Structure formats: structure tokens, C-alpha cells
Amino acid sequence: MTQQVPVEKKVLNENQRIAAELREKFARNNVFVLNFISSPGSGKTSLLERTLQGFSPDTRVAVLTGDIQTENDARRLSQFGFPARQITTGGTCHLDARMVEKHLADWDLSTLDILLIENVGNLVCPSSYDLGEHAKVVMLSVTEGEDKPLKYPSIFFKSELCIVNKIDLLPYVPFNLELAKENARRVHPGMDILEVSCTTGQGLDVWQTWLRERREKALSAEVASKA
């Protein structure tokens, strides 16, 4: 599809411009932002539910959740008492920076410390669209096969962290966890990898520690750049 390339480039450049504005705005307001990407059904919404559940009520956190259709996820996520808003893309297979900008327009970012963005379920297209986040987090569930990092290298290369979910199902599926990690690190050497089960809660403490420490690192970097 060579005809599409110049237009795609223009769209991506425009996205990059808006993402840079968002990033600057997040930094000015000390908001730490993560962009969660996975296949449909890997457990992004379940992880966010567990994460919100684990926060004390005074945590200044909000969620944006993307889907092609339905407001189901925002409904699921709003029951924890933190702001949760749905971005319905209406057919588009990924979130882009303009959608995030638009859905944040009437939120006062100075009231937030953490913004969690759940992308559309898709292991391909979301990897091309910067949303101004501090880091991308890719999820892979053990039911999907250990070859996925090799088949979808772009998102594993661009994500700082890989969360392997549904480890409670390991006894029932032919999934080689060590090989999956090896494949992820072949694509992205040194990648952080955590193993969790959003069903049993296993590993979620380690995830919460990762989130807290990564946020502190981002804040220190921003303080240093302002000094």
C-alpha cells in the first residue's frame, strides 16, 4: 500500500506534535502516565481494576480507556471511586494523541498524580501512536502462546515493561514461561517482565512496587530537568 505512506507519515507527524504537547503538559503538572497495550482479552481492564482497588482513596489517579465500541470498561472502572472516562474510537484500531487531548480537555491535570490509559485491544497499530506517556506497558496472557513477542516485535520493543498475565492458568495451557521471557528479551534486551494473575492477585504487589518506583523515577527526572 505505497499510496498510503505519505499520508500515514503526515498523520504520524501530527500525532507526534500533539503527543509532545501532552508530554509537556503532563510534566508541568507532575502527572505520571502509562499507556497499556495488549491483544483483546489479555486482561488490561482487569489489571486496572486490581490496581485501582489497591490504591488508598486519597490517591490522585484517573483512567482513560479506549475501545472501538461500548462504554463497558469505563463503567467497570468507575466503581472504584476514581475518575474513569471512555474513549470510543468508532472503528479506529488504536488511540491517538488527539483523542487523549480531547478527552482530557476539561480535566484539571493539577489534581492528578497518575493517569492510566488503556488502549484499544490490538497488538499492532497502537504501537505507532505516542500518547505523551512516560512508558508503554505491554500485556501478554499465558493463553496466547510464547511466540507473540517475535510475531509482534514493535510493541515489545517499545514497551518498558511486559506484564505476563493469567499465570493461574499455567497448569492448563502449553505455555513455556521461560521461552516467552527469552523471546521478549530477544526483541527488547533488558526489558522488565512481571508475572501476575489478576484472578488470584498473585504478583500484583510486585506490579504496584514497579508502578510506584517508576513514577518516582519520572518525577526525579522532571525535577532534574527543571533545575
Angle at 51 between CA 97 and CA 179, to 5 degrees: 85
The β-bridge partners of 85 are 64
Q: How many residues bind its own copies (CB under 8 A)?
A: 44
In angstroms, the CA 138 to CA 36 distance is: 6
**Is 22 in contact with 96 (CB distance < 8 Å)?**
no
In angstroms, the CA 198 to CA 50 distance is: 7
Verify binding: residue 151, its own copies, rule CB under 8 A: yes
Verify binding: residue 1, its own copies, rule CB under 8 A: yes
Verify binding: residue 13, its own copies, rule CB under 8 A: no
Instruction: List the end-to-end C-alpha distance of the chain, in Å, as a whole number.
Output: 47
Tell which one of 29, 101, 113, 125 touches its own copies (CB under 8 A).
125
Q: Which is nearer to its own copies, 115 or 120 (CB)?
A: 120
Verify binding: residue 123, its own copies, rule CB under 8 A: yes
Of 22-30, 52-60, 123-131, 219-227, the window that binds its own copies (rule: CB under 8 A) is: 123-131
Q: Which of 89, 90, 59, 63 is nearest to 74 (CA)?
A: 63
Verify binding: residue 50, its own copies, rule CB under 8 A: no
Tell which one of 57, 174, 189, 190 touches its own copies (CB under 8 A).
174
Verify binding: residue 122, its own copies, rule CB under 8 A: yes
Residues 56-95 that bind its own copies (CB under 8 A): 67-70, 72, 91-93
Going 54 to 56 to 61 to 64, the CA torsion angle's sign is positive
Tell which one of 24, 28, 81, 147 touches its own copies (CB under 8 A).
147
Verify binding: residue 203, its own copies, rule CB under 8 A: no
